[in-house]
């Protein structure tokens, strides 16, 4: 059965999409911790601002599409152990096809290629988890305790890379930011985003309901509201990535 996230935790994950930020309540002037997310703006050019993926006020005219399959590395390095060709395009891409020595991570391979999924915002998380487990069975350091020091070092790097890739692609926010990064768009940490007033009011109203909830039924109702809003935003952003209907500079 599907694991249930406690409503309070789920609210913090859904409403505080980028992280907490102290903002003033537009009705009372009080400062409270709210999410640094933003309300759906109605135009596809503002889609990324739903999750603060793109700063408000930044305009551009170049359409971006991210639905193409991600390429793997195309270099043909030599095996460090036997000197034979150890192209990452051959076999599993981790071991030399001649001597089966573990090779270093391919620096040209992105997370989508590594985890065998299309470079797109919408991913099959079950498939993602299966691929992650398969890779860890191949490269986890525990399986290289009797191998050379070089292979031990490579296994550590591979395992860390696989972990980072899985964590990044599993969460919608980090996945979207990573997609932008692959296309040369990076959002500097600490960027100040304009908070949409309507969305801010929604967050505060939900927080007020949460504080006043006295029963399990009331908590479930709040959880249902948050889940529906999260799905709406996820679907909208996913559609924008797939159709290339937003713009960047």
What pTM was estimated for this model as a whole? 0.63
Which superfamily, per CATH, for 69-182? DnaJ domain (1.10.287.110)
Helix axes of 149-170 and 172-182: crossing angle, nearest 10 degrees: 110
pLDDT of residue 19: 36
Total count of residues recorded for the chain:
249
Point out the least confidently predicted range of 5-9, 133-137, 177-181, 204-208: 5-9
> With 70 as the cut, is the pLDDT of residue 30 above it?
no
Sequence-ordered list of residues with C-beta below 8 angstroms from that of 204, at least 6 positions apart, any chain: 25, 27, 32, 34
Tokens found for residue 155: 């296994």
What is the three-class DSSP state of 39?
A: coil
Confidence bin at 206 (pLDDT 50/70/90):
confident
Chain segment 56-65, per-residue pLDDT in tens: 333 333 333 3
Residue with the bigger pLDDT between 187 and 62: it is: 187
Residue with the bigger pLDDT between 25 and 104: it is: 104
Sequence-ordered list of residues with C-beta below 8 angstroms from that of 10, at least 6 positions apart, any chain: 223, 226, 227
d(CA 62, CA 163): 33
Mean pLDDT in residue range 187-211:
78
pLDDT of residue 125: 93
- Structural domain boundaries of the chain? 7-66+185-248, 69-182
pLDDT of residue 214: 87
pLDDT of residue 191: 62
pLDDT of residue 92: 64
Confidence bin at 189 (pLDDT 50/70/90):
low
Mean pLDDT in residue range 57-84:
55
Query: Residue 70 region, left (φ>0) first, then alpha (ψ -120 to 50), else beta?
Result: beta
d(CA 104, CA 117): 21
Confidence bin at 185 (pLDDT 50/70/90):
confident
The pLDDT > 70 percentage for the chain reads 61
Chain segment 113-129, per-residue pLDDT in tens: 999 999 989 899 999 99
The per-residue pLDDT of the chain, averaged, comes to: 71
């Amino acid at each position: 059965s599907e694991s249930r996230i406690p409503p309070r935790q789920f609210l913090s994950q859904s409403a505080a999409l980028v992280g907490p930020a102290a903002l003033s309540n537009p009705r009372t002037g009080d400062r409270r911790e709210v999410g640094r997310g933003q309300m759906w703006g109605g135009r596809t050019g503002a889609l990324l601002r739903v999750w603060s993926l793109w700063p408000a006020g930044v305009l551009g005219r170049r359409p971006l599409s991210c639905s193409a399959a991600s390429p793997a590395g195309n270099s043909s390095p030599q095996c460090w152990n036997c000197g034979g060709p150890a192209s990452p395009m051959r076999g599993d891409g981790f071991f030399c096809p001649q001597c089966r020595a573990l090779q270093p991570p391919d620096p040209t391979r992105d997370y989508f290629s590594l985890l065998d999924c299309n470079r797109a915002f919408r991913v099959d998380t079950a498939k993602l988890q299966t691929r992650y487990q398969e890779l860890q069975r191949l490269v986890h350091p525990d399986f290289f305790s009797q191998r050379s020091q070089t292979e031990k070092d490579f296994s550590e790097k591979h395992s860390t890379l696989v972990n980072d890739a899985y964590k990044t692609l599993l969460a919608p926010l980090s996945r979207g930011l990573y997609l932008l990064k692959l296309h040369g768009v990076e959002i500097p940490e600490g960027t100040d985003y304009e908070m949409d007033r309507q969305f801010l009011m929604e967050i505060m109203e939900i927080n007020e309901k949460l504080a006043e909830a006295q029963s399990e039924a009331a908590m479930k109702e709040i959880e249902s509201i948050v889940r529906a809003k999260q799905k709406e935003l996820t679907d909208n952003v996913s559609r924008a990535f797939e159709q290339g209907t937003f713009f960047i500079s």
